Amino acid sequence: MKKRLVIILFFVIIFITFIVVWNFSYQKGLEEAYMPVIETPAGNFMPTESGVFKRSNVAVDYLNMPVDENHQRTLEAYYASRAFPGAPPSIPHPVAKERSLGGNTCLQCHQNGGFVEKYSAYAPITPHPEMVNCRQCHVTKNTNETFKEFTFSKKQPPKVGEGQNSALLGSPPVMPHQLQMRENCLSCHAGPSTPKLIRVSHPERVNCRQCHVPKTNEQVQVDINKFLRQFNSSSNE
Amino acid sequence: MDQSVTNRRSFIKKMAMLSAMTAAASMFPGILFASEQEKGIPKGANLDWKKGPCRFCGVGCGILVGTENGKAVAVKGDPNSSVNKGLLCVKGYHQTMCIQSKDRLKHALVKKNGKYVETPLAEALDIVANKMKTTIAQHGKDSVAMYTSGQSTIPEGYVASKLMKGAIGTNNLDCNARLCMASAVTGFLTTFGADEPMGCYEDIDHADYFITWGNNMAEMHPVLFSRMLEQKSRRDVKIIDFATRTTRSSTASDRSILFEPQTDLAIANAICYEIIKNKWVNKSFVEKHCNFSKGITNMGYGLEDNYEFTDKPEKINFEAYKEFLKDYSPEKVSKYSKVSVMDIKYLASIYGDPNKKVVSYWCMGVNQHTRGTWMNNLIYNIHLLTGKISKPGDGPFSLTGQPSACGTAREVGTFTHKLPHGVVMNQKDRELAAKIWKVPVEKIPSKPTYHATEMFRAVDRGEIKFIWTQATNPLVSLPKTGRYRPAMEKESCFVVVSDVFPTPTSDVADVILPAAWHIEKSGLYGNSERRTQHWDKMVEAPGEATADAWMFIEVAKRMGYGDLFPYSKENHVEEIYNEYRQFHEGSKHGMAPLEVLKKESGAIWPYVEGKSTQWRFNAKYDPACSNGEAFHFYGKPDGKAVIWQRPFEDAPEKPDAEYPFWLNTGRVIEHWHTGSMTRRIPVLHQAMPNAYVEFHPDDAKALGVRNGENIKVTSRRGYCVLPASINERGLPTKGQVFVPFFDENMLINDVTLDAFCPISKEPDYKKCAVKVEKA
């Protein structure tokens, strides 16, 4: 008798639960579809210059890393893969998937670098890992031939080395190159893949642009002549 | 292959060893850093290195200038200076280049029939002295005025004060530090009764959190910011950027919180509300060391001529203060500050956490504010309520803009109301000054006259007939220059300008005096952390260019005050400093003797028994504390600091239908103030050749503005045309535009408003309403 009551009660509870759950989900289904509108805060943009701090989290590691003399890249090798200084470098090794954009495949080695046994070299680090369509600009080199004979007057790379870009003896060198897509200084100027001549001795000073300023205004060339003030004071007799 | 594997193995072993070594060495990276710089200098170079402070900002980095054959050829950071430990910024490294500019003022120029005529200096000084004398004879002592600078050296400021207040007997002396530090001074005086920060830069090495209030330190105080970043990479330290514009500092910070201009007042109160509500108040500290007060509200904005205001403090109790704060719950404040409730509570929780050390930094965002004194008070409130003050790593720290705004403007007192010790209103302070200056006490007037803005208004009104400016460029830096340029051009006022280079201010001068630059004279500067620094002359000035202090003395002698200025040309800096030191004798403000300053890279006052005092008001470090407690705010008669009840009040001019944008102005890392020096340094000019107007990308899109297009920025006072800059150096909030003020060809101060804080008289350059259109 008692057993039967318990079983009936059990089914009653299951039934009630079913009604409740079914009702709840039915009511939910009646609600209008709604997408919460998230207002973009006014400061959601970042100035283009913010790139300078991008790799600052590993700056101290760079400082403490000894130089692997046997696998250093040379500046010649650095420029050899570029048509002219500032041009996107070509890919000097075979790529696995011809149909891929690059993206994660490339970034596996080129986001944070590291030694690649196969090529016996350190992978260079990209200054713009957020741009994942790598092969839009970087292409492989599949032949050394040219289609027709070709003369290209290659722009000489800026001179680097002690004192080359310093205005005063020993003063911090100015940046002799454009910064577009290369605002992240540490990606090219620190770490084991960096050519010796352009390796910074003090990567832990992450606010690079405190001391190093661009040589020309990179962003907009403004004709300021129309704004020029006439100097009265210097017009002495 | 085998070969390379063993190579790699031995390499890894070496790596482990080396990293241990470099870790130890990197404890003092700055010191390694300066020697690093020497690699760039040819081995054969035979440079003579002399120490000094940097010429530019208020951080006061130690520099070493290398000279060769009488020319300055190199600059490096002074590794012995605890300020910068061998590091500088781009301005510092290239500073000496400006003196070789071709348009350098080498001779006195006197305007004759509308033309400037090169004149022997002695003759030009005769003209200045005669003009001053005849003007005083005709129109009285208060018709002559002097406007100096936070870049004047301590001896220059001292001689200016002695000449005007002691010899001539007028308080018509003010300086450009009124435009940058006055609110900091009144903030300190109202809360603590003693000017200048209680802490020092070493706080950076101890703090857990840095909260920067309206302050882009990465560009404006870069060396201190680098010290903060260094801590960040070494230990768990966080930087919170609280501002109205996204800048380099924001991108390097752990959190960037943006607020609507002027609402910082409300947010500071909301933080106090949260601290009290959550019982984060350090009760014993507040009971022992704090009073509560309120002052007059609805003070006005000083927009009208001859505006006067005196605050009337009134004591209140904690309950009344708590009641007042009820209007500032985060929920209420969030509505008009555009800062989320969560962010306000987050800020409060940082200050409230008793286990975290917090340093607040601020500079012009807080000071150049029509309620600047209040804003300073409110930040002190937060630190006083939580007891986070006067301890290593805990404290409010007001940064300065100019190299000697503290040392000269504030300590020597080149303000209308100040004396080297105390204020002109105080009988005892006048007596002390009269005694040291050896003048009758009646000579020093007891009533302050014109503060900076009012001084130039008085020039416009014709009340001031003679004005002498030194080391400053008011016709670029004053607010509403559109009024003051024609004022200075008026025949009614004779204008003398002492400067190193021609500027828009020297353009309107009747006499231009050629000044020696920084390293071409000896001098002393005082930086933000109360550090006094001395340097010796390193190179000769060109032509007849002469140290400003000496030109003041020469004019004083010509006016018949020779006996008050018995200094020698060779040694005047030393003689003046030793006379000046007498004003500050004692444990509260004792200055280090010159022998110490010559040897060391600066010393912090109070300098007591051969020791710098790093943290004032804390009995552990400050020998002037005498109440037997852990803390003693001895600036106030009862030894207690004041927590001020200061409400939120609106800005005098807000964006409306006709002028829909906020205009904010400021600086960039490459240029210093009006750029008369930094623009003459090729490296800096090439990096930042001209000013620009920054837009938020959404606003630019709505207006159809592209990068580089010419934009006309117009206010009710004037207009300025500049190229647009979208998403580059900085990013103002929506509805705001930003313009740096360094460019004399694009005078944004024609547009700004000359409203000021009624207590400090410091103008607000950060807020006025403008419209923008394509030019």
State the fold for domain B661-752: Barwin-like endoglucanases (2.40.40)
pLDDT of residue B12: 56
Q: Are the beta carbons of B42 and A163 separated by less than 8 Å?
A: yes
CA distance B400 to B184: 9
Residue A229 clears pLDDT 80, i.e. is over it: no
Res B23: pLDDT: 44
Q: Is the peptide bond before B606 cis (omega within 30 degrees of 0)?
A: yes
Dig out the tokens for A208 from the structure: 């690079």
**3-state SS class at B335:** helix
Q: Give the architecture (CATH level 2) of B108-179+403-612.
A: 3-Layer(aba) Sandwich (3.40)
Which has more confidence, A161 or B19?
A161
CB contact under 8 A, A49 and B248: yes
Whether residue A42 and residue B733 make contact (CB cut-off 8 A), yes or no, is yes
pLDDT digits (tens, 9 = 90+) for B464-492: 999 999 999 999 999 999 999 999 999 99
Q: What is the CA radius of gyration of chain A?
A: 30
| Contact state of B727 with A66 under an 8 Å Cβ cutoff | no
In angstroms, the separation between the Cα of residue B706 and the nearest Cα of chain A is 11
| Predicted pLDDT at B356 | 96
A165 contact residues in B (CB cutoff 8 A): none
Catalytic residues of B: 91, 180-181, 364, 401-402
- pLDDT tens string B253-262: 999 999 999 9
Nearby residues of B190 by Cβ (< 8 Å), 6 or more positions away: B311, B313, B373, B377, B642, B644, B759
- Give Cβ neighbours of residue A157 (< 8 Å, ≥ 6 apart): A75, A79, A85
CA–CA dist B206, B203 (Å, integer): 5
CB-CB under 8 Å, A43 with B733: yes
At the top level of CATH, the class of B2-100 is: mainly beta
DSSP notation for B5-27: HHHHHHHHHHHHHHHHHHHHHTT
- Chain A residues whose CB is inside 8 A of the B46 CB are none
Q: Using CA atoms, how far apart are residues A84 and B375, in angstroms rounded to an integer? A: 54
Mean pLDDT (whole number) for B762-767: 97
Q: What is the pLDDT of residues B129-160, one digit of tens each?
A: 999 999 999 999 999 999 999 999 999 999 99
State residue B109's pLDDT score.
Answer: 97
Q: Is the dihedral of CA A165, A167, A172, A176 positive or negative?
A: negative
* Contact in structure between B524 and B534 (CB atoms under 8 Å): yes
Q: What is the pLDDT of residue A103?
A: 78
Tokens representing residue A169 in the block? 């003896």
A contacts of B15 (beta carbons < 8 Å): 65-66
Please give the helix or strand (H or E) that residue B665 lies within, else none.
strand B661-666
For residue A176, count CB atoms less than 10 angstroms from its CB and return exposed for 0-12, middle for 13-18, buried for 19 or more. Answer: middle
A228–B26 CB contact, under 8 Å: no
In this complex, which of A168, A209, A213 lies closest to B74 when CB atoms are compared?
A168
Task: Please list every residue in chain B whose beta carbon sits closer than 8 Å to the beta carbon of residue A68.
Answer: 11
How confident is the model at residue A232, as a pLDDT? Answer: 41
* A73 CB neighbour count, 10 Å cutoff: 18
Closest CA to B756 of B644, B645, B652: B652
d(CA A145, CA A154): 17
* H or E segment to which residue A15 belongs: helix A2-30
Mean pLDDT throughout B521-536?
Answer: 97
Q: B678 or A2: which carries more pLDDT confidence?
A: B678
Contact A139, A153 (CB under 8 A): no
Report ipTM for this prediction.
Answer: 0.74
Q: Do B683 and A167 touch (CB under 8 A)?
A: yes
Residue A132 has pLDDT above 50, yes or no: yes
The mean pLDDT of chain B is: 93
- Give the single-character DSSP code of B746: S
Distance CA B503, CA B743 (A): 11
Using CB atoms within 10 Å of the CB of residue A228, give its burial: 0 to 12 exposed, 13 to 18 middle, 19+ buried.
exposed
Cβ-based contacts under 8 A for chains A and B: 227
Determine the residue among A69, A169, A201 to mutate to test chain B binding: the one whose Cβ has the most chain B Cβ atoms within 10 Å.
A169
Determine the average pLDDT of the residues in B72-83: 92
Alpha-carbon span B232 to B2, nearest angstrom: 42
CA distance A66 to A211: 25
Q: Which helix (H) or strand (E) holds B481?
A: helix B481-489
* DSSP bridge partners of B499: B514
DSSP structural state of residue A124: P
Closest CA–CA distance from residue B585 to any residue of chain A (Å): 39
Do A210 and B226 make contact, defined as CB atoms within 8 angstroms? yes
Of B18, B33, B687, the CB nearest to A214: B687
For strand B466-470 and strand B144-148, is the pairing parallel, antiparallel, or unpaired?
A: parallel
Smallest CA–CA distance, residue A109 to chain B, in Å, is 19
Q: Do residues A188 and A194 make contact, with C-beta atoms less than 8 angstroms apart?
A: yes
Could you read off the pLDDT of B707-729 as tens digits, one per residue?
999 999 999 999 999 999 998 88
Which residues from B are below 8 Å from A211, CB to CB?
88-90, 93
Q: Each residue of B264-310: pLDDT tens digit?
A: 999 999 999 999 999 999 999 999 999 999 999 999 999 999 999 99
Per-residue pLDDT of B404-435, as tens digits, reads 999 999 999 999 999 999 999 999 999 999 99
Residues A135-157 pLDDT 10s: 888 988 888 887 878 777 777 88
- DSSP, res B534: E
DSSP B405-455: IIIIIIIII-STTB-SSSBTT-HHHHHHHHHHHTS-GGGS-SS----HHHH
The CA–CA distances, whole Å, from B683 to B40, B57, B368, B443 equal 17, 18, 30, 50
pLDDT in the model for residue A55 = 84
Q: Answer whether B403's CB lies under 8 Å from B53's CB.
A: yes
For residue A195, which of A81, A95, A107 has the smallest C-alpha distance? A81
Pick from B251, B254, B262, B232: nearest CA to B729: B251
Count the neighbouring beta carbons within 10 Å of the beta carbon of residue A25.
Answer: 9
Asked if A227 lies within 8 A of B707 by C-beta distance, the reply is: no
For residues B510-544, b (16+ Cβ closer than 10 Å) or e, as one string? Answer: bbbbbbbbbbbbbbbbbbbbbbbbbbebbbebbeb
* Among B301, B309, B269, residue whose Cα is nearest residue B369: B301
Ranges A111-125, B18-32, B231-245, B488-502: which has the least confidence: B18-32
Q: Dihedral of CA B732/B738/B742/B745: which sign?
A: positive
Is A217 within 8 Å of B687 when comparing Cβ atoms? yes
pLDDT above 70: percentage of residues in chain B: 94
Q: What is the mean pLDDT of residues B732-757?
A: 95
The token duo for B633 is: 């705010």
pLDDT > 60? residue B390: yes
A68: confidence class by pLDDT, cuts 50, 70, 90? confident
Instruction: Give me the residue spans of the domains in chain B.
Output: 2-100, 108-179+403-612, 182-296+313-399+636-645, 661-752
Strand partners for B736: B662
- Nearest by CB to residue A172, choosing from B22, B93, B503, is B93
Optimal mutation site among A62, A210, A215, A222, interface B, most CBs of chain B within 10 A: A210
- Sort out which chain A residues have CB atoms less than 8 A from B47's CB and list them: 169
Q: Is the pLDDT of residue B30 over 90?
A: no
3-state secondary structure of B110: strand
User: Considering CB atoms only, which of B33, B252, B692 is closest to A53?
Assistant: B252
- Closest to B294 (Cα-Cα) out of B760, B635, B643, B761: B643
Mutate to test the interface with B, among A164, A227, A230 (most CBs of B within 10 A): A227
Beta-bridged to residue B316, according to DSSP, are B292
% of chain B with per-residue pLDDT over 90: 90
Q: Rounded to a whole number, what is the distance in Å from the CA of B628 to chain A's nearest CA?
A: 44
On the question of pLDDT at B734 being above 50, the answer is: yes
Cβ–Cβ below 8 Å for A233 and B105? yes
Task: Return the residue of A nearest to B45 by Cα.
Answer: A169
Angstroms from A229 CA to nearest CA on chain B: 5
Of A42, A206, A222, the CB nearest to B229: A206
CATH, domain B182-296+313-399+636-645, list 3.40.50.720, 3.40.228.10, 1.20.1050.10, 1.10.287.1260: 3.40.228.10
Check pLDDT > 80 for residue B41.
no
